[in-house]
Chain A
Amino acid sequence: MLLKATDLHKRFGGLQAVSGVNLTVGEREIVGLIGPNGSGKSTLLSLLMGIHRIDGGTVRIGETDITGWPPHRIARSGMSMMFQHSRPLLQQTVLENVLLALLPDSMLNFRFSEELRGRARAILGQVHLTEVADRLPGELAFADLRRLELAKTLAAHPKLMLLDEPFAGLSATEVREFSTLIRTMRDEGRSVILVDHNVKGVHALVDRMVAMSSGAKIADDRPDRVLADEQVRRVYLGSGASGTAVAASQTSSAPILEVADLTVRYGKACALDKVSLTARQGEVTAIVGLNGAGKSTLFHAVCRLVRSTGSVHFDGHAIADNTAQIARSGVVLCPEKRELFGDMTVFENLRIGGSHLPVADFRQRIDFVETLFPRLAERRKQNARTLSGGEQQQLAIGRALMMKPKLLLIDEPTLGLAPVVLDLISETIEKLRASGELSLFIAEQNITFALRHANSIHLLEQGQIVWSGPTHRFVDEVGHKVL
């Protein structure tokens, strides 16, 4: 047994990020760790690496108990980690970045020995970066930057490698190449724990799959068994029942949002690639896809929170230049992180949302929101920070509604919510649609939820729209890809 983690617990303030997780990794084993956002998989990795302090439980590598060790000591005992975002030293060449990973932990490091350089070049050869060894990281393509990160992780001959979203942002070919590399590492005698959202892509690579939800482990078995597991499917995709069908999209209804050729680049990575879609007035439009597909980026680009090329038209006119103006003109975003004012009460949060309303409208609007969410009326004087996850989501939507939006963008409305609250959100969406006052655009990784409410759906994969159409055709035409 290479790694044995027992009964791990971690708490961040009021949130139990990891509760009672047991994990074992054997030699020459690739373990895939999957779970929706907020399930605790990244936290689990950082607990293993010592980046966050463990609240309870133990971790052993072989016979050694490494619980509570600082990260640098854990690194020296045979574990290494590849982070989700590339962080090379920009002033040093690719070779020097790898040399860094090979250096011993000694202050008397005065020269780079030839032997060290040789080893560095060998590692670069393994990850196919030999040609760019003497270039600066700023000149590299995105996939090469990720290779560099992998090289750094490999360098010190770790027994166990933790890879956090290694495939994020890579094309299908690049994913295959990386998978081959990872398999080679296993064949060389190392073990790997990898976290990724691309469940289907990962399942061909791993020997074993561990699924997490809300901080706890819900499955630990061979990949095909885990994917067929009822609980796993429910957590990822929502409950099996597809519910009542929604009325088909009325193509006669005027478009309220028109996006054309929208492209967003973060440095070298392409987060959105020529995305075009239309949302119609009075309807519920949904954009679905895995995490990292680009749904949030789409919303951020529409609201001008990130720079983009392409055009966005709202209600027939080009959308404004800055987020505040866009919000005032009727396009309001309710982001995934909610962005509430934690130290203010529920009522004060709503009041900020309604700041731009004339006084008479304000009273009316507060009543409307509090009728929609009776919990918020009860907890008027409570600080937003102390609300439960579900209540915070209600407050976020409520605050957005205070702005009298014409188009409400909700990013992951059901994220981390208990089924009861989920039903409430469902009801809310239906009530809002019925009121006829606004159009809704939701981004969801919970496909079943989206299917239940949307008139039309767009499927986003790695920054590109791969399918658009009315809901009733979704299951037949692309259901196999995601369900």
Chain B
Amino acid sequence: MNHPATAAPSILRRLPFSTTALAWLAVPCLIALPFLGLSEYAIGIFTLGLFFAVYAMGWDLLFGYAGEPNFGATFLIGVGAYTAAMLNSNGIAPPWICVIAGSVMSVIAGVLLALPALRLRGPYFGLVTLVAVLILRQLIILFSHQTGGEIGIAVPDVLTLSAVANYEIALACAIVSAIMIVLVARSPFGLILQAVGQDPLNAQAMGFSIVKYKLAAFCYSAFFSGLAGALMTFYMGTASLNVFVDASVGVQIIIAAIIGGRRTIIGPAIGGVFLVVLGEYMRPFGRLSELIVAVIALLVLLFLPNGLLGLLKLKRSAR
């Protein structure tokens, strides 16, 4: 028997200002960011943060809405990244085609993973997604002749050499992804997805097939993961295991989403940027930096379970 009062109400509904207004304000600021006198290095960090934001948003659609925790986000990202890298390094296609190919392959990989995985209940779904990452790693190492194995593949083409242009490309990717994901989340499809995630029995009784919608959400999320993964490959110049097909990177994506505020889409985006920037900021502490970031993440998890956007909610309810 369910006590229905356990799901946290959407934070975005309770914000004192319209989120669209916030977006109109934030977007120009973000576009102008590199021109505010930051070093190229700092711009680069924000670029990475923006890619991370896309990963986190895709994760939130899957978990916050469809209710499926994906512990193998890097499986989808890795497929996108390596597809793009392999196509380009073999001279088969120019960068933009490789990026599109990466996204498509990611979706296909998503279908192949989700079809068997969605049959499983409880912790087993998360496990299978995690195992997918490990298997992908092994496969890449096994076929190192084609994939570059543990060293990775260098990508001969670049999209652009300018740090600012790279930033703006990442920003464009992030903004487009945000718009497309938020639109879907707020659409009837998003409503059905939430019903499917929160109360599958009731959703079925209303005529919706659980597997179909979760699969769709998985593919949609995979598309953006693959897209951002492929773009990021061209930004970094290589596709390597430790960046793209690492279980711990997948965990960081989850942490970013939870810190940002689950079930809000925008929250995880903020969380993604926050985590990358925080990691950089801590770098001077050397070895201690990972420790500090983990402690901060843990504190947020325990004391702000609704994430950073939850802070705003607290302020509002204190009236």
Contacts and interface: CB of A to CB of B under 8 A. Distances in A.
Query: Do any CB atoms of chain A lie under 8 A from CB atoms of chain B in the complex?
Result: yes
Interface of A: 49, 51, 70-73, 75-76, 80-81, 83, 85-92, 96, 99-101, 103, 105, 107-112, 136-138, 152, 156, 266-267
Query: Which of B1, B5, B9, B191 is the most central at the interface, judged by chain A CB atoms within 10 Å of its CB?
Result: B191
B4 A267 contact: yes
Contacts of B144: none
Contacts of B203: 72
Nearest to B191: A100
A100 B187 CA distance: 11
Contacts of A112: 188
A109 B206 contact: no
Nearest to B204: A71
Interface string B1-43: 1111101011001000000000000000000000000000000
Given A51-B201, A107-B212, A112-B188, A100 B7 contact: no
A181 B95 CA distance: 63
Contacts of A91: 7, 9-10, 13, 194, 263
Nearest to B263: A91
Majority SS at the chain A contact face: loop
Query: Which of A71, A81, A108 is the most central at the interface, judged by chain B CB atoms within 10 Å of its CB?
Result: A71
A257 B9 CA distance: 42
Contacts of B201: 51, 71, 83, 87
Contacts of A109: 187-189, 192
A89 B205 contact: no
Nearest to A93: B13
Given A99-B188, A109-B188, A110-B188, A85 B2 contact: yes
18 contacts: A72-B204, A72-B206, A72-B209, A72-B210, A75-B207, A80-B206, A87-B202, A89-B191, A89-B194, A89-B195, A92-B194, A101-B206, A107-B213, A111-B188, A112-B188, A152-B206, A156-B207, A267-B3
A51 B199 CA distance: 13
A111 B5 contact: no
Nearest to B4: A87
A303 to B, nearest CB: 18
Contacts of A81: 205
Nearest to B212: A107
Contacts of A49: 205
A103 B191 contact: yes
A107 B9 contact: no
Interface of B: 1-5, 7, 9-10, 13, 183, 187-189, 191-192, 194-195, 198-199, 201-210, 212-213, 216, 263
Contacts of A99: 188, 191
Contacts of A110: 183, 187-189
Given A72-B205, A83-B202, A267-B4, 13 more contacts: A51-B201, A51-B204, A75-B205, A83-B205, A87-B4, A89-B195, A89-B199, A90-B7, A90-B9, A91-B10, A100-B195, A103-B191, A267-B3
A81 B1 CA distance: 17
Contacts of B263: 91
A45 to B, nearest CB: 11
Nearest to B1: A85
A92 B202 CA distance: 15
B204 A138 contact: no
B181 to A, nearest CB: 14
B138 to A, nearest CB: 34
A81 B199 CA distance: 14
A89 B194 CA distance: 8
Contacts of A73: 207, 209
A90 B188 contact: no
Contacts of A156: 206-207
Contacts of B183: 110
Contact of B9 (A71, A80, A136): A136
Contacts of B208: 72, 103, 105
A439 B5 CA distance: 38
B210 to A, nearest CB: 8
A108 B183 CA distance: 12
Given A70-B209, A80-B205, A91-B9, A107 B4 contact: no
A366 to B, nearest CB: 35
Nearest to B201: A51
Contact of A105 (B7, B13, B209): B209
Contact of A100 (B9, B10, B206): B206
Contacts of A100: 191-192, 195, 206
Query: Which of A49, A89, A92, A110 is the most central at the interface, judged by chain B CB atoms within 10 Å of its CB?
Result: A89
Nearest to A268: B5
